Chains A and B, each alone.
Chain A
């Protein structure tokens, strides 16, 4: 085994691993990132899967990347360039559409066509969600205190949290509590009457989660989206030039500028543990590399049950990880197109093609899509969030051609009878057929089709059960419960072995917060000498 040339080894070059590497390197640590794939980014990668057509293969928009990370790592100078994604259009079953536009007056006029009352409510609702997002924002920036602990740092954290919630005032605190516990459909029912509006809004509450819009707990995920909108003041919401892989590359470039080393095609087999302490890693190639700090940015299942031996861990932790819910529920269809889709509700070329197209005509439609999944089938008529990145960044496709990204829900990991090539094709067909109901010309435009089931997502990225958030963003798996109680502060029972990634607080999306918090916590704790 070679001498320890590194202070820290980071397993997994996803965006959180890269963020952690950059912060550790910035603090003067010698860092090595090991990524099993030939590209860094994890689920935030851009790949040319069809000649001349570039795809954000998995994660496709950015809304939550923490502004402090953008500043600390100087990401714009390393290639971060976020372009506006301004609108959402929901085609309706009656041939009309519901548009959500960037300009507040245009937006209000559009909504008034469907419900003047909702148009008014939207303004107040937006204000409330902004307040809620502000209320949650400090939580995203803190290491979760353990409420069952009497340690001074935990008590201080809880006090800070308590003081913060008190400062919200009763009205906002109650609103927040409702938001944390209700279903998104129920929550939106309190505000709006127009079904397609509620459906489209509630869709953001089910993304990546095995819940329907009527399932309690789904309202919280709504809030996650508004977090991006208050950061809309800094305008960090939209589409990354060059696809989401370019975000990962910008973070990698920043990490390298601070001195971190990044190795691709370097999968890690095991973390080497001696006397309860991590001392390095063994690569799939058989090489071993030592370092006093080993950080797993893989999901909790891999971190605790695959990279290390469970006998080195307390039973309750292992049991907690076993119960931790992944249940990948979404798939992705990427299309190379010969031209632009022609929507029946908005024929021809128009600004709607530069924004999102949401297939969410009604709450019942979404709930029925969930019903299919509940009983082990993919949705015959799924919820789809569609963008045409080449309309925003023309360099994603050859001139006059286009790429289309379709996020699809539901596609359960645990499909009846399991996923097969035939099932994958049938799933792809269901997506294209559904889209063709709203854009009949789509089928003849398709030059290439890539269909990704949760099983494919797991196979390619390593995300267990294909869950895009490294585990569901459900209330029982958030904050001091993520991934399991008592182990939500990025450390593990094995000394020198740390965890980070979307499976830790504050969860998924291209946010980078867990990478940053984990790195800062490691620096803090290792400086203190533990």
Chain B
């Protein structure tokens, strides 16, 4: 039996087509409507409410809390102020990514780490000899992501505090409809948005407060299908889809470094020792072998492939996650790991791992498309990520 999240009492009543899926041992809705169109639209138009409780969450405290995290992850945690949030990957000793997530500094000596997969063992291995407490608060903490251009209005209408002035990647403690929460201006959609952290027993009350006030602002509960489209447009990497944890990969070739995932900006060049530092420094020196880039498929080319069969282009209605070859001049130069039709940008987009030296933006490539059971190639172009980056995200 899969676990259910603290919001299950509400979400389970909404999944109309019983489109459930697994996420880290939990059951969550792929979509509440049979199709994710409206849920996705809410992300870019109003506000979408995602249940992201299956994320792993750890409370790290004690005199060495900062030291532990700084030692484990690639970013400089000593620079993280109280009330600040960092996005960061962390690596094994060979500089290959183990997982990625956020670090929130809740107060002087307390941090919250989120991760896609359980990290309790890795945290204890990284903290040997340190004076630090690690509490797994995954099950007793509910998490919601409220994402979209009107998300701020909804929170402002529910909170007695000045949420409107909360800056990008900052957090605050407040109440929403009387429920104590922490709110961070973070998310996985590349839009204006917030993540809200709540004690599991207050989860349903929080959901109800958000839905009631949100009705005036077009709030829509949304599932993973909608999230997946938004995060592809935002060029955000997904663990287990776009890369495999170094702890799970069976062979070296299945592992990726942060530099290969377009996450070079998260690898501090100045801070003290951390896991993978030497390997990453060496890799940076000679330049990564791969890059993680955007691919935009040329529509006319796609149309031509289908026209042969008397058909308009047939695209999947939800994002795909099937490894798909990318070619240049007849040679395979990489593979796309996820992709979707972007309802907002009206483009067929993919996220791809491309080998040096073929990953410069503007490089013309081909991507494999199966048309009526036949493997074909459509023209495409390498694009800089993110595909979509609205000003409101940080404004």
- How far apart sit A67 and B341, CA to CA, in the bound complex (Å)? 14
Chain B residues with CB under 8 Å of A434's CB are: none
Across the interface, A134 reaches (CB within 8 A) one of B310, B344, B346, namely B310
A311, CB-defined interface residue at 8 Å: no
**Across the interface, do B35 and A102 meet the contact criterion of CB distance under 8 Å?**
yes
Which of these binds chain B: A39-47, A231-239, A464-472?
A: A231-239
Main secondary structure of the interface of B (DSSP, over half): loop
Counting chain A residues whose Cβ lies within 8 A of the other chain, the interface size class is: 20 to 34
**Across the interface, do A134 and B343 meet the contact criterion of CB distance under 8 Å?**
no
**Across the interface, do B312 and A76 meet the contact criterion of CB distance under 8 Å?**
no
Across the interface, A233 reaches (CB within 8 A) one of B17, B314, B344, namely B314
Within the complex, the shortest CB–CB distance from B260 to chain A, in Å, comes to: 29
B37, CB-defined interface residue at 8 Å: yes
A241, CB-defined interface residue at 8 Å: yes
- How far apart sit A40 and B248, CA to CA, in the bound complex (Å)? 57
B251, CB-defined interface residue at 8 Å: no
- How far apart sit A80 and B46, CA to CA, in the bound complex (Å)? 15
**Across the interface, do A399 and B216 meet the contact criterion of CB distance under 8 Å?**
yes
Which of these binds chain B: A81-89, A173-181, A421-429, A448-456?
A: A81-89
Question: A394-B150, A394-B218 known; A76 and B345 CB under 8 Å?
Answer: yes
Within the complex, the shortest CB–CB distance from B217 to chain A, in Å, comes to: 5
**Across the interface, do A83 and B312 meet the contact criterion of CB distance under 8 Å?**
no
Chain A residues with CB under 8 Å of B315's CB are: 233
A342, CB-defined interface residue at 8 Å: no
- Scan residues 382-418 of chain A and give those whose CB is less than 8 A from a CB of chain B: 391-395, 399-400
Within the complex, the shortest CB–CB distance from B390 to chain A, in Å, comes to: 11
Within the complex, the shortest CB–CB distance from B225 to chain A, in Å, comes to: 14
Question: A76-B344, A399-B216 known; A394 and B37 CB under 8 Å?
Answer: no
- How far apart sit A230 and B313, CA to CA, in the bound complex (Å)? 10
Within the complex, the shortest CB–CB distance from A57 to chain B, in Å, comes to: 21
**Across the interface, do A67 and B37 meet the contact criterion of CB distance under 8 Å?**
no
- Scan residues 39-88 of chain A and give those whose CB is less than 8 A from a CB of chain B: 67, 70-71, 75-77, 80-84, 86
Within the complex, the shortest CB–CB distance from A127 to chain B, in Å, comes to: 12
Nearest residue, chain A, Cβ from B298? A71
A96, CB-defined interface residue at 8 Å: no
- How far apart sit A80 and B343, CA to CA, in the bound complex (Å)? 11
Within the complex, the shortest CB–CB distance from A408 to chain B, in Å, comes to: 27
Across the interface, B346 reaches (CB within 8 A) one of A70, A84, A392, namely A70
**Across the interface, do A233 and B313 meet the contact criterion of CB distance under 8 Å?**
yes
Across the interface, A234 reaches (CB within 8 A) one of B41, B310, B341, namely B341
A105, CB-defined interface residue at 8 Å: yes
A106, CB-defined interface residue at 8 Å: yes
Question: A76-B344, A134-B312 known; A71 and B299 CB under 8 Å?
Answer: yes
Within the complex, the shortest CB–CB distance from A76 to chain B, in Å, comes to: 5
A316, CB-defined interface residue at 8 Å: no
- Scan residues 271-309 of chain A and give those whose CB is less than 8 A from a CB of chain B: none
A103, CB-defined interface residue at 8 Å: yes
**Across the interface, do B346 and A236 meet the contact criterion of CB distance under 8 Å?**
yes
- Scan residues 137-188 of chain B and give those whose CB is less than 8 A from a CB of chain A: 150
Starting from the known contacts A76-B345, A105-B34, A395-B150, 5 additional A-B residue pairs (CB-CB under 8 Å) come to A76-B347, A83-B41, A393-B45, A393-B218, A399-B216
Residue positions of A touching B, CB distance < 8 A: 67, 70-71, 75-77, 80-84, 86, 102-103, 105-106, 134, 230, 233-236, 241, 354, 391-395, 399-400
**29 pairs from A and B in contact (CB 8 Å cutoff):** A71-B299, A75-B346, A76-B344, A77-B345, A80-B346, A81-B44, A81-B344, A82-B343, A83-B41, A84-B38, A102-B33, A102-B34, A102-B37, A103-B33, A103-B35, A105-B34, A134-B310, A134-B312, A230-B312, A233-B312, A233-B313, A234-B346, A235-B37, A235-B343, A241-B45, A354-B38, A392-B45, A393-B218, A394-B218
Closest 3 CB pairs of A and B: A394-B218, A399-B216, A103-B34
